[in-house]
């Protein structure tokens, strides 16, 4: 029972960049864009300006490449877990590269950089003179909500484990 109290998870969050389109919606958008480009290209081809068709095809390829890069970047995420003895931050890049940091919650300081017009610009964990920025890809409102939840979890972790 004592080991369970020390290992009890107080807080867990997985932060991911927001993407407005799903795969299926992207393919529908790509098809619609391709049809539009086709209708625009045909009159140019019939007038003898056939190089325009090639450039319009390049537009479709660029459109596809930009969205694929966007979907690839969306694979990145951060996982934050707080227990009475440990704050663990795991960051996975879009390429799948994983980095992990472990902190003692009693010695961690959350620092917020805010702008009165924009909101919370930056949320940084400081421990032993080193800083780690969290949720850089989140919009300010989501970053503020996450910061308040994490601050509450850290306060609870500093009070120590609860034994029943």
The per-residue pLDDT for range 39-88, each reduced to its tens digit, is 999 999 999 998 999 999 999 999 999 998 888 888 889 999 999 889 99
Both tokens of 45, joined, read: 């081809």
What DSSP state is assigned to residue 138? S
* Parent domain of 59: 23-73
At 100, is the pLDDT very low, low, confident or very high (cuts 50, 70, 90)?
very high
Task: Give me the mean pLDDT over the 93-122 stretch.
Answer: 90
Asked if residue 12 and residue 81 are part of one domain, the reply reads yes
Task: Retrieve residue 75's tokens.
Answer: 């694979």
Q: What are phi and psi of 136, to 5 degrees?
A: -60, -25
Whether residue 48 lies inside any domain: the answer is yes
The pLDDT of 3-16, averaged and rounded, is 80
Residue 29 and residue 45 in one domain: yes
- Average pLDDT value over all residues in the chain: 89
Q: What is the pLDDT of residue 164?
A: 66
Largest CA distance in the chain: 83
Asked if residue 128 and residue 82 are part of one domain, the reply reads yes
Nearest to residue 3, comparing CAs of 159, 157, 161?
161
Residues 142 and 111 in one domain: yes
pLDDT given for residue 1 in this prediction: 46
CB 105 within 8 A of CB 86: yes
Same domain, 120 and 69: no
Whether the CB-CB separation of 52 and 44 falls below 8 Å is answered with: yes
Query: Domain total for the chain?
Result: 2
**Phi, psi dihedral angles at 140 (to 5 degrees):** -55, -40
Do residues 84 and 149 both lie within one domain?
yes
163 inside domain = no
Distance between CA atoms of 79 and 81, rounded to whole angstroms? Answer: 7
- Residue 147, classed as helix, strand or coil, is helix
107: nearest Cα among 128, 89, 133, 122: 128
Do 82 and 131 belong together in one domain? Answer: yes
Question: Region 22-51: what's the mean pLDDT?
Answer: 92
Over residues 129-146, the pLDDT tens digits come to: 889 999 888 888 899 999
pTM: 0.73
Q: Which pairing describes strands 109-115 and 98-103: parallel, antiparallel, or unpaired?
A: unpaired
Please state whether 48 falls in left (phi above 0), alpha (psi between -120 and 50) or beta. left
Q: What is the mean pLDDT of residues 155-161?
A: 85
In a shared domain, residues 55 and 111? no
Task: Say if residue 83 is in the same domain as residue 137.
Answer: yes
pLDDT in tens, 63-76: 999 998 888 888 88
Shared domain for 91 and 142, answered yes or no, is yes
């Amino acid at each position: 029972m004592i080991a369970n109290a020390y290992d009890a998870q107080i807080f867990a969050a997985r932060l991911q960049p927001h993407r407005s389109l799903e795969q299926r919606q992207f393919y529908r958008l790509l098809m619609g864009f391709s049809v539009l480009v086709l209708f625009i290209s045909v009159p140019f081809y019939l007038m003898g300006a056939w190089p325009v068709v090639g450039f319009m095809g390049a537009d479709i390829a660029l459109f596809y490449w930009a969205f694929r890069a966007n979907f690839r970047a969306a694979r990145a995420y951060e996982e934050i877990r707080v227990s009475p003895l440990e704050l663990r931050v795991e960051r996975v890049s879009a390429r799948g590269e994983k980095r992990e940091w472990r902190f003692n919650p009693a010695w961690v300081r959350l620092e917020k950089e805010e702008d009165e017009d924009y909101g919370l610009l930056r949320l940084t964990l400081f421990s032993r003179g080193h800083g780690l920025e969290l949720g850089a890809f989140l919009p300010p409102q989501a970053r503020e909500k996450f910061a308040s939840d994490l601050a509450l979890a850290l306060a609870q972790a500093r009070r120590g484990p609860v034994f029943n």
